[in-house]
Chain A
Amino acid sequence: MLAQQIVSGLATGSLYALTAIGIVLIFRNTRTINLAQGDFSMIGAFVALVILEHSGGSLVVATLVTIVAVTALAVVVERLIMRPIEGSDWLTLFTATLGVFYILHGVAGWIWGRDTKSFPALFSSAPLSIGGTLISQAHLFNILVAAVVGGILYLFFRFTKPGIAMRAITEDPVAAQLMGIPVRSIVLLTWAVGGVLAAISGILLAPLVYVSTQMMDGVLVKGYVGAVFGGLYSLPGAVIGSLIIGVAENLAGGYLGAQYKVTIAFVLIVLVLALKPRGLFGGKARREI
C-alpha cells in the first residue's frame, strides 16, 4: 500500500515536474513567473482532443500537431506580449502573464465551451505488477516520458551551443550579449522549449484530469511550488520538489483524506519559503544543471 502510494505519487509528481521545469527555464532567463505555463498545456489538451477526433485517433499525429501548436502559442506570447515589456520589473512581467492566463482561459472557453470533456485513455486500466508493487500502465508511461524529456534537456544544456547559451544568459545576460550571444533569440527559444514541455504535459494529464479550461489550475500551483523547491533556478531542484509534492499529496490523500491533497502543496510551499527561501539546494540562488 505504501509503496503503491509512493509510486503513483512519483508518477503525478513527474507530470508536475514538466510544468515546474517550464516555469524555471522561463524565470531564470527573463525574471518572468509565467502563470500561463499551465494554460499552454490546457490549450494543448484541447488541440490534442480535436486532432484525435479528426485524425481517426492517431495519437502520434495528435502529439506532433499539439507540440507545434503550443510551441507556436508560446512564441506568439513572447513576441507580442512579453518582448515589448522586456526588462520591466518582475511585477509588471508577472501581471502580464496573469493577463495571458485569463485570456487563454477565456478563449478556450469561447472556442470549446465550459464543459469538461473526457480524453481517451492512452492505456488499458489493467495495472502491471513490478516487484510486487502494482503500477498502472499510464503512470509508468508518464514517468518514462518525463524521464526521457529530462534526459534530453540534460543533454541539450550540457552539449549544445544554444543550451549552454541559455545557461550563460541565466548567469549574466550582459556578458552574454558582449560575447555575441543573440540574447533575444535565445529567450524566444526558451519560451519555445517551455511550449514543448507544456504540450507534452497537457497530453499526459488530459486522460487523468479530463479536459477543461481549469484543468491545469491546480497543476500550475503545484508545478510552481516544485519550482520554488529549486529556488526557481535549479532544474534538478524543481524536479525533486515536484516529486516530493506528488508523493506528499498522494500520501496525504491516501492516509488523511482526499481534501488534504491540495492543502499539502501549500503547506510545503510555506515550509520551503520559511526554512529555505532560496530553495532546497542552496545558499546561492544560482544554476546547477
Chain B
Amino acid sequence: MLSLEAVEVGYGQIKALKGITLRVSDGQIVALLGANGAGKTTALRAISGLLRTSAGSISVDAVRLDRLAPEEIVRRGVVQVPEGRRVFAGLSVLENLRMGAYCRDGSIADDLERVYRYFPVLGQRRRQAGGSLSGGEQQMLAIGRALMARPKVLLLDEPSLGLAPKLVAEILKIIRTINADGVTVLLVEQNAYQALSIAHYSYVLRVGRVVLEGTAEELKDRNDVVRSYLGRQAAG
C-alpha cells in the first residue's frame, strides 16, 4: 500500500501541497483529480523523490520513501509515467525499454515480451527512434518503459493528455488490464469523467488540499460537487 500522511510540499514561500493524506491500497486503481494547479503533479513528483517534502510522510508497505533518491524509490517498486510521456526521443524503442529496467539485474527478455503483449506496436517498432512514434504510441512506450521496472505501484500523470478520444479509451483499457495483472495504479487526471470510469477510489484536490474523496459511485452521485471543483467540462 502506498500512503501519504499529511504531506506538505513548498516551492519557496508558496505551499503547493498543504497536508494531503491519501491511500492507495494494493490492487486498486486510485484516481487523483483536480483542476490545473491543484497540486496533482506536485504530489506525484514528491512520491517519486523529485521534490522534497517539508512535512508529513510518504511510504510504501511501511517503508519510508520521502528521504530516498529517485532511483531508490524506483527500486522499491514505485515507478512514474510522467506527464507529457517524456520518452527518450533519440533512443530506439528497445533502448527506451532497456532504460526502464535500469535498476534491475538479470534478463529482461520476459519483461520485453510482456510489454510487447500489452502494446504489440512497440514490438513492431522496436528499432525506431522513440521520437518518431505518434503521440499515442509514445504514451504506450512511456507506460511500457515504466513496466520494465516491474512496479508494484504505477504512477500515471495525465496519460490521456493530448490524445484522440479513441486512443484515450484504448489507453484506459490497457491501464485496467495492467491493474488486473496485479499492478496498483495511482492515476492523475484532469479528465475526471474518464478517470472515474476505471477508478476504485478517488481523491479530489483543490489548491493543495484533499476536498473530496470516495468511490467512483459516491463521486458520480455527487456530480454537482465534482463539477464545482473540476469545472463543467471535466465532469462531463
Q: Which residues of A contact B (CB under 8 A)?
A: 161, 164-165, 167-168, 170-172, 174-183, 286-288
Contacts and interface: CB of A to CB of B under 8 A. Distances in A.
B90 A164 contact: no
Contacts of B49: 177
- Please indicate which of the listed interface residues A172, A175, A181 has the most CB atoms of chain B within 10 Å of its own CB: A175
Contact of A171 (B75, B90, B149): B90
B71 A182 contact: yes
B80 interface: yes
Contact of A177 (B71, B98, B100, B149): B71
A182 B149 CA distance: 14
B90 A181 contact: no
Contacts of B98: 161, 164
Interface in B81-111: 82, 86-91, 95, 98-100, 102-103
Contact of A167 (B48, B69, B71, B88): B88
Contacts of A287: 90
Contacts of B210: none
A164 B99 contact: yes
A181 B79 contact: no
Nearest to B92: A164
Contacts of B80: 178
A119 B89 CA distance: 46
Given A174-B50, A174-B82, A179 B89 contact: no
B82 A168 contact: no
Contacts of B102: 161, 165, 179-181
B14 to A, nearest CB: 20
A182 B102 CA distance: 9
Contacts of A175: 82, 86-88
Nearest to B157: A178
Contacts of A174: 50, 82, 86
B107 to A, nearest CB: 13
A285 to B, nearest CB: 11
A179 B50 contact: no
B10 interface: no
B87 to A, nearest CB: 8
A179 B99 contact: yes
A279 B200 CA distance: 52
Interface of B: 48-50, 69-71, 74-75, 79-80, 82, 86-91, 95, 98-100, 102-103, 145-146, 149
Nearest to A171: B88
B145 A179 contact: yes
Nearest to A177: B70
Contacts of A172: 86, 88
Contacts of A177: 48-50, 70-71
A180 B86 CA distance: 14
Given A172-B86, A174-B50, A174-B86, A179 B91 contact: no
Contacts of A168: 88, 91, 95, 99
A274 B214 CA distance: 60
What are the 4 tightest A-B residue pairs by CB atom distance, in nearest-first order? A180-B74, A180-B103, A175-B86, A177-B70
B75 A180 contact: yes
B172 to A, nearest CB: 22
Contact of A178 (B75, B82, B89, B90): B82
A178 B48 contact: yes
19 contacts: A164-B95, A164-B98, A167-B90, A168-B99, A170-B90, A171-B90, A176-B99, A178-B50, A178-B80, A178-B82, A179-B79, A179-B146, A179-B149, A180-B70, A180-B102, A181-B99, A181-B102, A182-B71, A183-B71
A178 B91 contact: no
Given A171-B89, A174-B50, A179-B102, 7 more contacts: A161-B102, A164-B95, A175-B87, A177-B70, A177-B71, A178-B82, A286-B89
A164 B145 CA distance: 14
Nearest to B69: A182
A181 B88 CA distance: 13
Given A167-B90, A171-B89, A171-B90, A180 B149 contact: yes
Nearest to B155: A178
B90 A180 contact: no
A288 B100 CA distance: 20
A173 B75 CA distance: 18
B70 to A, nearest CB: 4
Nearest to A167: B91
B46 to A, nearest CB: 13
A164 B108 CA distance: 16
Contacts of A286: 89-90
A25 B103 CA distance: 23
B135 to A, nearest CB: 16
A256 to B, nearest CB: 40
A289 to B, nearest CB: 8
